[in-house]
């Protein structure tokens, strides 16, 4: 019954990062070996290659620990960074981030920040970056709150229709900027209902889309309002900013994420939403189009396998997992994990230290 991911568009997953020689492995099912090009070779010390018994299901190519940062950096034009667990944790900047971003910019790389967190607008995120001493422009930030508004624009959602929001301020601000009328949001968190005979909840028949995201002011009133719109307004869209199960609201622990609120609406409407945030490729397609970038020229850097890395893979980009957020090395290497990034490293400032080691 649970269907967590909906792709807006899908691209084929490229197993080979690009045509340049790489410190990587060719994908043969069940085999794990050191680098080679195009064939099966014996290592110089004449010891046989480590070969695992092939199994019937193709194994994802195992992630390589990042050793030659320069090679990765030189092979792409754009870096897309997730924020929570990559740039910051809660309100604390992760060590070495400012210098790393500066180095990449000095090398002429384009930097983009893509976050599933819909509580703030791009402008508000711009302020957060500024407060943390980072040199980032609002135009480089793509939050799922922005994605929802951008999606509605892309389908020419009529300006005379309204949007009901189950979510926080960030979504409201972005809808406003895009010129859409909205209802709901945090204020509806104060509304109570009394289930008694003769009581009827009315809803606006002009609502043409319900946008659901992370909502700390979630309540039964909003669930019912959204449910009535989706079930009764003909053609009403059901859009989810993201479906993350848990999120790091504070750096100390996990908190129930947008996947919970979206799940609630799926439960009452028995409909799957259109997801605009990671791992859906909507935001990838949007910025590739906006900046005129080739997806193979992008490296996605994130801390979460089922959103960040899957987003990068679905988009046909290179992927780098950092262990400074929610994913540990044991989670990456667990037999239950099916998502393998191209590379992994402990944190993004490794770009500086690994680079220095190779000079």
**Is 70 considered catalytic here?**
no
Whether the CB-CB separation of 333 and 313 falls below 8 Å is answered with no
CA 190 to chain centre: 30
Whether the CB-CB separation of 118 and 214 falls below 8 Å is answered with yes
Which residues, numbered 96-155, are part of the site for another protein (CB under 8 A)? none
306 assigned ligand-binding residue: no
197 binds another protein (CB under 8 A): yes
Helices 144-154 and 282-291, packing angle to 10 deg: 70
At closest approach, how far in Å is the CB of 229 from another protein? Answer: 13
Give whichever of 20 and 190 is closer to another protein, judged by the CB atom.
190
36 binds another protein (CB under 8 A): no
What does the buried/exposed string (b/e) look like for 280-305 if buried means 16 or more CB atoms within 10 Å of the residue's CB?
A: bbbbbbbbbeeeebebbebbbbbbbb
| Catalytically annotated residue among 45, 74, 84, 244 | 84
Residues 6+ apart with CB under 8 A from 70: 354, 355, 358
Q: Are strands 246-250 and 253-256 parallel, antiparallel or unpaired?
A: antiparallel
The string of DSSP codes covering 43-55 is: -TT-PPPPBPPP-
**Is 84 considered catalytic here?**
yes
Which residues, numbered 234-253, are part of the site for another protein (CB under 8 A)? 243, 245-246, 249-253
Give whichever of 240 and 288 is closer to another protein, judged by the CB atom.
240
At closest approach, how far in Å is the CB of 246 from another protein? Answer: 6
Q: Which of 35, 205, 270, 346 touches another protein (CB under 8 A)?
A: 270
Give whichever of 163 and 223 is closer to another protein, judged by the CB atom.
223
27 binds another protein (CB under 8 A): no
Distance between CA atoms of residues 344 and 66, nearest Å: 6
308 assigned ligand-binding residue: no
Give whichever of 98 and 186 is closer to another protein, judged by the CB atom.
186
Distance between CA atoms of residues 226 and 109, nearest Å: 42
| Catalytically annotated residue among 45, 70, 74, 82 | 82
Enumerate the known binding-site residues for substrate.
278
List of residues contacting another protein (CB under 8 A): 1-2, 4, 90-92, 193, 195-201, 215-220, 223-224, 227-228, 243, 245-246, 249-257, 259-270
Enumerate the known binding-site residues for Mg(2+).
82, 84, 303
Enumerate the known binding-site residues.
82, 84, 278, 303
């Amino acid at each position: 019954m649970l269907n967590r991911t909906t792709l807006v568009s899908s691209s084929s997953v490229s197993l080979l990062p690009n045509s340049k020689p790489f410190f990587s492995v060719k994908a043969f099912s069940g085999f794990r070996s050191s680098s080679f090009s195009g064939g099966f070779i014996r290592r110089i010390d004449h010891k046989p290659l480590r070969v695992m018994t092939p199994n019937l299901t193709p194994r994802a190519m195992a992630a390589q620990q990042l050793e030659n940062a320069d090679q990765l950096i030189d092979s792409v034009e754009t870096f897309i960074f997730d924020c929570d667990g990559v740039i910051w944790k809660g309100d604390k900047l992760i060590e070495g981030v400012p210098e790393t971003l500066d180095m990449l910019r000095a090398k002429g790389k384009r930097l983009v920040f893509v976050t599933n967190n819909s509580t703030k607008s791009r402008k508000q995120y711009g302020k957060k970056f500024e407060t943390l001493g980072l040199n980032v422009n609002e135009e480089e930030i793509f939050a799922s709150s922005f994605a929802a508004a951008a999606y509605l624009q892309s389908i020419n959602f009529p300006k005379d229709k309204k949007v009901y929001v189950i979510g926080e301020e960030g979504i409201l601000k972005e809808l406003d900027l895009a010129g859409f009328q909205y209802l709901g949001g945090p204020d509806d968190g104060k509304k109570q209902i009394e289930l008694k005979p003769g009581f009827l909840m009315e809803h606006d028949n002009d609502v043409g889309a319900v946008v659901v995201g992370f909502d700390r002011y979630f309540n039964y009133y909003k669930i019912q309002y959204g449910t009535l719109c989706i079930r009764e307004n003909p053609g009403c869209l059901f859009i989810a900013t993201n479906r993350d199960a848990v999120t790091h609201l504070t750096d100390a622990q996990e908190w129930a994420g947008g996947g919970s609120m979206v799940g609630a609406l799926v439960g009452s409407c028995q409909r799957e939403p259109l997801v605009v945030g990671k791992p859906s490729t909507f935001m990838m397609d949007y910025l590739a189009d906006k900046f005129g970038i080739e997806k193979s020229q992008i490296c996605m850097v994130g801390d979460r396998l089922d959103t960040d890395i899957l987003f990068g893979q679905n988009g046909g980009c290179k992927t780098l997992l950092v262990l400074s957020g929610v994913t540990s090395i044991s989670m990456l290497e667990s037999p239950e994990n099916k998502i393998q990034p191209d590379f992994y490293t402990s944190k993004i400032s490794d770009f500086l230290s690994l680079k220095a080691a190779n000079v």
